[in-house]
Amino acid sequence: MLCESVAWLRNDLQADLIIANAENAADGAGLTIAQYKKIVAAGVDAITLGDHIYRKKEIASILQSELNIVKPANFPVEAPGRDHCIVQTAAGVPVAVISLLGRVFMRPVDCPFAAVTRVLSLLPDEVRIRICDLHAEATSDKQSMGRFLDGKVTAVLGTHTHVPTADEEIFPGGTAFQCDVGMTGPYLSILGRAIEPVLNTTLTFDPNAFHVASEDVRLSGTWVDADPSTGKAIHIGRIHLRKNPT
């Protein structure tokens, strides 16, 4: 769905840059090398991940060698991957992409506030557009980071909970914010997984394999317009495309 939608994002939405969180691409957990190559070949400019980043061990080589994919910046220094990347639009505007992992109901990680402060201090002054993907469970984590980074980055966009939120706004300092950009995948599901096995395990505690569902496939995302001279956001809005609209 993502790869098929890139042409619409470029031509109709007139997107100058496309960033995708791809951590659920490999049957719901992780990213393979083949999928990475397919997503990049389709026209996606940068890729972020999250708590499932290393579920497919093969991706470690891509994380270390490629310049358009990042790990959460608050992971250990020794963890495979870069803590940020800088990609360019077709017009040559540099854009910094940063990923962070939240701490509420998530795996133990270093402080995301300290990590993003460190990364921002490393960015060249000419890189005004700065996008932060906060992969977190709690809206409190995301709201706190959004307010902390207001005026310091172009956008703080949440991922991980799979459900698009209706709280997109631009904070007083010029930072665009949304708690969760939503899921690209099958919406006739429970967070992308087949409904019946999830319900059965929930009701009986009988373990089941939670297979990825396949029906009512949609793309969800967020668009942001920004001033490249200041890095401040001008507009923000939601994207919701259905593969087979009725």
Residues known to be catalytic: 52
Q: Whole-angstrom Cα distance, residue 207 to residue 156?
A: 36
Size of the chain in residues: 246
Q: Whole-angstrom Cα distance, residue 92 to residue 96?
A: 13
CA distances from 73 to 25, 29, 41, 49, 230 (A): 21, 20, 25, 11, 24
Continuous segment of H or E residues that includes residue 197: helix 195-204
Those residues with Cβ within 8 angstroms of residue 175's Cβ, 6 or more apart along the chain or in another chain: 146, 149, 150, 151, 152, 153, 154, 155, 156, 232, 233
